[in-house]
């Protein structure tokens, strides 16, 4: 006799939203996670009173009022607006590419002046059918923005030359002919006051949860506990890598506590230059307008992924997509297992998208 309706493998946003909704509908859930904490990649570690985004900077943004209202049930959000800056060859530039950036690059003061330079550079350096990321970027934005703010950053991020990267990585480049440094153009944006853990704790309230439990270390016994399994781990691992492993890009985070109030004056500063091994420095207190006397910074180093490391960004080339399709075909034949989340779907999802996806799947399941 199964004790639970659902065994939820993974206490990330997908698993927690699924568990919350199922529990609300009267279903009994057990949530397990192999890490020593819940929350998945949105987890924040409290370091001397500062919420440190342990798995990379997380800024909530959405255009969907329903999703915004949903997360606001669990935490109030502050009015943080993401306005990163980028350092290239010792100079600071505003992001995303906007009139401030163009002024810093060329001294242009009007949209006409900036547009003229960009259009003439696209004409001179662009390609009709871009074959790689470099050609694509040159065709979308011209030479100066590409060489100053895109090339070396992207090469560090992916560990490959821009000429060896596929064009599709850059589909569009947001270019604004206004003085607007707001990185996201979504209607709703912010950081939960008290950190993301507050949302996770709200979602899991009253639900049985066990950390430090790896599904694969006790698969048979755990599977017998519930009528159905919601699996949010890696799909290739679920099938014992029978079609080979799906590849990711990994990251390494190096945290430093500093005995000063303000290190860089902004939450996110990108480092474009190729001879600096990290891509950005995050100063976490600025996400919450912190007034502490000290600060915590994190350097983010892109790294080659191996099975022992955290899987961050899926490498969406044809080979991996073909493998994923084979795993997906198997998953569709399962009757009692629901696959969801970024690792089970081998897809980069923003937080609002993962919540929408979990809500959709749980609704379908409970109807």
Q: Is residue 280 flagged as an active site residue? A: yes
Q: Is residue 342 flagged as an active site residue? A: no
Q: Is residue 172 flagged as an active site residue? A: yes
Whether the Cβ atoms of residue 249 and residue 315 lie closer than 8 Å to each other? yes
- Which residues on neighbouring strands pair with residue 8, listed in sequence order? 31, 230
Q: How far is the CB of 126 from ligand FDA (least distance, A)?
A: 30
SS3 154: helix
SS3 176: coil
Can you give the three-state secondary structure of 206-252, one letter per residue?
CCEEECCCCHHHCHHHHHCCEEEEEECCCHHHHCCCCCCCCCEEEEE
Q: How far is the CB of 138 from ligand FDA (least distance, A)?
A: 27
Could you say which of 85, 354, 356, 362 contacts ligand FDA (CB under 6 A)? 354
**Choices 31-39, 92-100, 119-127, 170-178; region in contact with ligand FDA by CB under 6 A:** 31-39
* Shorter beta-carbon distance to ligand FDA: residue 130 or 341: 341
CA atoms 305, 306, 309, 311: torsion sign: positive
* Shorter beta-carbon distance to ligand FDA: residue 38 or 99: 38
Interface with ligand FDA includes 35 (CB under 6 A)?
yes
**CB contact set of 287 (below 8 Å; sequence gap of 6+):** 51, 53, 57, 59, 80, 191, 267
Catalytic residue among 48, 119, 239, 348: 348
* Shorter beta-carbon distance to ligand FDA: residue 145 or 282: 282
* Rg, the chain, Cα only: 22
Q: Is residue 35 flagged as an active site residue? A: no
**Choices 38-46, 116-124, 185-193, 276-284; region in contact with ligand FDA by CB under 6 A:** 38-46
Q: What does the alpha-carbon distance between residue 31 and residue 232 come to, in Å, rounded to a whole number?
A: 11
Q: How far is the CB of 248 from ligand FDA (least distance, A)?
A: 9
Q: How far is the CB of 151 from ligand FDA (least distance, A)?
A: 21
DSSP state for residue 283 in the 8-state scheme: E
Size of the site for ligand FDA (CB under 6 A): 34
Interface with ligand FDA includes 214 (CB under 6 A)?
yes
* Shorter beta-carbon distance to ligand FDA: residue 32 or 269: 32
Interface with ligand FDA includes 159 (CB under 6 A)?
no
Q: What does the alpha-carbon distance between residue 242 and residue 81 come to, in Å, rounded to a whole number?
A: 44
Q: Is residue 346 flagged as an active site residue? A: no
Which 293-332 positions form the footprint of ligand FDA (CB under 6 A)? Answer: 312
**CB contact set of 266 (below 8 Å; sequence gap of 6+):** 83, 84, 85, 283, 286
Q: Is residue 252 flagged as an active site residue? A: no
Could you say which of 4, 6, 8, 10 contacts ligand FDA (CB under 6 A)? 10
Closest residue by Cα to residue 33 from 4, 7, 71, 3: 7
Interface with ligand FDA includes 195 (CB under 6 A)?
no
* Shorter beta-carbon distance to ligand FDA: residue 301 or 349: 349
* Shorter beta-carbon distance to ligand FDA: residue 289 or 348: 348
* Shorter beta-carbon distance to ligand FDA: residue 218 or 227: 218
Could you say which of 21, 33, 135, 247 contacts ligand FDA (CB under 6 A)? 33
**CB contact set of 74 (below 8 Å; sequence gap of 6+):** 192, 198, 199, 201, 202, 203
Could you say which of 232, 270, 279, 295 contacts ligand FDA (CB under 6 A)? 232
Phi, psi at 34, each rounded to 5°: -80, -20
CA atoms 229, 314, 350, 286: torsion sign: positive
Phi, psi at 82, each rounded to 5°: -75, 115
Residues forming contacts to ligand FDA in the complex (CB under 6 A) are: 9-15, 32-35, 40-42, 56-60, 214-216, 232-233, 251, 312, 341-343, 349-352, 354
Q: What residues are labeled active site?
A: 172, 176, 249, 280, 300, 348, 350
């Amino acid at each position: 006799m199964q004790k639970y309706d659902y065994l939820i493998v993974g206490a990330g946003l997908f698993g927690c939203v699924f568990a919350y909704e199922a529990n609300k509908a009267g279903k009994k859930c057990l949530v397990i996670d192999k890490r020593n904490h819940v929350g998945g990649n949105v987890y924040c570690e409290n370091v001397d009173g500062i919420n440190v985004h342990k798995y990379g900077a997380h800024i909530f943004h959405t255009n969907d009022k329903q999703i915004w209202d949903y997360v606001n049930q669990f935490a109030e959000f502050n009015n943080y607006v993401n306005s990163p800056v980028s350092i290239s060859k010792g100079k600071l530039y505003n992001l995303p590419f906007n009139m401030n950036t163009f002024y810093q690059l060329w001294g242009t003061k009007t949209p006409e002046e900036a547009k003229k330079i960009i259009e003439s550079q696209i004409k001179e350096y662009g390609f009709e059918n871009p074959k790689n990321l470099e050609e694509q970027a040159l065709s979308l934005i011209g030479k100066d923005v590409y060489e100053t703010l895109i090339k070396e950053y992207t090469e560090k991020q992916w560990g490959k030359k821009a000429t060896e990267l596929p064009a599709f990585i850059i589909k569009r480049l947001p270019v604004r002919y206004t003085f607007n440094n707001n990185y996201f153009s979504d209607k709703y944006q912010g950081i939960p006051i008290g950190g993301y853990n507050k949302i996770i704790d709200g979602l899991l309230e009253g639900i049985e949860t066990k950390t430090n439990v790896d599904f694969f270390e006790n698969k048979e016994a755990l599977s017998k506990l519930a009528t159905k399994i919601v699996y949010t781990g890696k799909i290739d691992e679920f099938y014992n890598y029978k079609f080979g492993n799906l590849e990711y890009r990994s990251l390494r985070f190096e945290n430093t506590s500093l005995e000063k109030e303000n290190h860089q004056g902004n939450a996110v500063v990108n480092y474009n230059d190729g001879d600096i091994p990290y891509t950005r420095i995050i100063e976490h207190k600025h996400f919450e307008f912190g007034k502490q006397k000290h600060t915590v910074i994190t350097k983010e180093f892109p790294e080659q992924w191996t099975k022992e490391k955290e899987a961050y960004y899926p490498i969406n080339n044809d080979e991996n997509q073909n493998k994923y399709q084979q795993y997906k075909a198997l998953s569709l034949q399962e009757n009692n297992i629901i696959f969801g989340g970024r690792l089970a779907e081998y897809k980069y999802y923003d937080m609002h998208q993962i919540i929408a996806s979990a809500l959709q799947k749980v609704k379908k399941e409970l109807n």
